[in-house]
Structure 1
């Protein structure tokens, strides 16, 4: 009889995952994992999801004992959308958008860099300049869209030029550790816009965004080691789970 393995129920499996993740965080390498099959990549992605959920719950529980600011983004989306649109936008569309913004160009290609530049522009001007929401269709929406698209085109045209593309490829290869760390920190710290921008929240920024920082390290690892679809899947599952919990009738 063929022996069936279920790694997701084995404690040693999670220990191995944590060690692999820790080694990558200390020494990021911009290479795909060629030793793992698609099945094992899926196993690892699910295992990392469980690890991320446990870590997030632990951090959230500790924060609740001391300080618990309101997540204004979650409240805004819940007020503007019904159950299905909320899960569609928050659980599928926004994860794809954020993974393009923060993880796609961990692997360098002109089109990847252009897409990241365009979506990051939309993200920053939406949050920092117009104090709006990514999914908000208001009087600034088309300005944000057009500005992001123009940046996308400019970056693509410039980075596609042969000598610039070659220089950027060398830069990515030589400074990947810096690029990976910056992607993690920017993803985490830009989530401060989910909260009210008062002095206390700004001082506590590294703590309030600690779950996002941990998520970014995992997403960056899966993007580089397994491919772009894996952090997208991980992000979708995470958002869909937490959004689904907010829809439960707890009263």
Structure 2
């Protein structure tokens, strides 16, 4: 792991952001994957530091305060096992399956993405009770899994292959703006959303790149480690 390789990886991520396309990996050796993971983690650290400094100095320079999160008092200390599990395990798995699994098209990937999206909309956005949400999701999964219209899935597959940038951008912006739900939505929150969401926006690009470059398991792992590193940083700052 050296500066040249990190800069090359950043350039690849930038090209991915412009095109939504990741060239196939030729070298799949364990050594390459370890170096790739280390480079990505370092890039995530850099983007997190950049996001923190940008928001801090923007407030200092322009003399304003950003809106506070609804759950600003939530305990993310290392002693709070419940919140740690949510932040480091539950959230990364759920978010990656919902927003990154479908970046590669298959019927199963589509079903998983729609199931996750339904959960977010019904449970998190509209706060409908779980006893209602679960049957709706199960019904949708069964319906989609047993749907036999082959031409529809062929057309969707063709669209995914011909429009990777569209699929990537939709996934990225949905993932990013989902995090506005951490705030009490108002005009002020919307005006400050670029600063409030810069970290999620940048990390979403990187998670998507990892998912397409390696696998969904890799993006889940990277997402989990990234959240853990951020919690450690906040605890020991």
Q: What is the TM-score when the length of structure 2 is the normalising length? A: 0.87
Structure 1: gaps spanning 5 or more residues: 1-6, 131-138
1:210 maps to 2:216: no
CA contact (8 A) 2:89 2:224 kept: yes
Contact between 2:75 and 2:83, CA under 8 Å: does it hold in 1? yes
Q: Name 1:182's counterpart in structure 2.
A: 170
- The equivalent residue for 2:68 is 70
User: d(CA) in 1 for partners of 2:185 and 2:115?
Assistant: 25
Matches within 5 A, 1:137-156: 140-156=129-145
Aligned to 1:24: 16
Q: Distance in 1 between matches of 2:20 and 2:80?
A: 39
Deviation of residue 76 (structure 1)? Answer: 4.0
**What's the CA shift for 1:43?**
1.9
TM superposition shift of 1:31? 5.3
For residues 84 and 226 of structure 1, what CA distance do their matches in structure 2 show?
30
Q: Is the 8 A contact 2:100 2:208 kept in 1?
A: yes
Which of 49, 54, 71 aligns to 1:57? It is 49
Is residue 193 of structure 1 aligned with residue 181 of structure 2? yes
Retained in 2: the 8 A contact 1:122–1:147?
no
Distance 1:38 1:108, change over 3 A: farther
Quickly say closer, same or farther: Cα 1:236–1:11, change in 2 above 3 A.
same
Deviation at 1:225, TM superposition (A): 1.3
Task: State the 1:78 CA deviation.
Answer: 4.6
| Distance in 1 (alpha carbons) for counterparts of 2:26 and 2:139 | 37
- 1:16-42 CA distance string (max 9 Å, x none): 111111122222226542334233123
Deviation at 1:188, TM superposition (A): 0.6
| Aligned positions of 1:92-241 closer than 5 A | 92-130=89-127, 140-158=129-147, 161-241=149-229
Gap change, CA 1:83 and 1:32, over 3 Å in 2: farther
What is the CA–CA distance in structure 2 between the aligned matches of 1:74 and 1:107, rounded to whole Å? 35
Give RMSD over aligned pairs. 2.4
Structure 1 stretches of 4+ with a deviation exceeding 3 A read: 73-79, 244-248
Relative CO higher for 1 or 2, CA cutoff 8 Å, sep ≥ 6? 2
Query: How has the CA–CA distance of structure 1 residues 155 and 239 changed in structure 2, closer, same or farther, with 3 Å as cutoff?
Result: same
- What secondary structure, in the 3-state scheme, does the structure 2 residue paired with 1:72 have? coil
Q: Retained in 1: the 8 A contact 2:20–2:166?
A: no
247 and 34 in structure 1: CA distance in 2 versus 1, 3 angstrom threshold: same
